[in-house]
Amino acid sequence: MNPDALRGHMDALLLSVLEREPLHGYAIIEALQERSGGALNVPTGTVYPALRRLERIGYLASEWATVGGRRRRTYRLTDSGRKQLEGERSAWAEFASVIGGVLQPGVRQSG
């Protein structure tokens, strides 16, 4: 998948992956890949800065944990992050509907 296609959607993807359970950075990357059927291979240089930014604005909280014998920073969704994820999902549904209406052949909008 073209990395440019993810621009503007990374926050929603990260929040969604963390909705189920707290995860460390590499596990988040693996979850994105798994949930996308292998289509998303997001580099660490994209994920980690986004995680730190989301934590700074209060959508994520983190703590150090030992995972598989290694000390890792584990991220979890905050209440504010859950609300943001709801908003991101609504915005995505509207965006997909509008773009789908334009890209689908033979579909006409009334108006």
Residue 60 pLDDT grade (very low, low, confident, very high; cuts 50, 70, 90): very high
Nearest to 30 by CA among 83, 4, 67: 67
CA distance 20 to 90: 19
Residue 54 pLDDT grade (very low, low, confident, very high; cuts 50, 70, 90): very high
- Measured in whole angstroms, how far is the alpha carbon of residue 25 from the centre of its chain? 12
Q: What is the pLDDT of residue 111?
A: 55
Phi and psi of 92, rounded to 5°?
-65, -45
CB 25 within 8 A of CB 51: yes
pLDDT (tens digit per residue) in 7-32: 788 999 999 999 999 999 999 999 99
Q: What is the pLDDT of residue 109?
A: 59
Nearest to 109 by CA among 98, 91, 93: 98
Q: What is the pLDDT of residue 8?
A: 81
Strands 70-77 and 60-67: antiparallel
- Count Cβ atoms below 10 Å from residue 77 Cβ, excluding itself: 23
Residue 68 pLDDT grade (very low, low, confident, very high; cuts 50, 70, 90): confident
Average per-residue pLDDT for the chain: 90
CA distance 68 to 77: 22
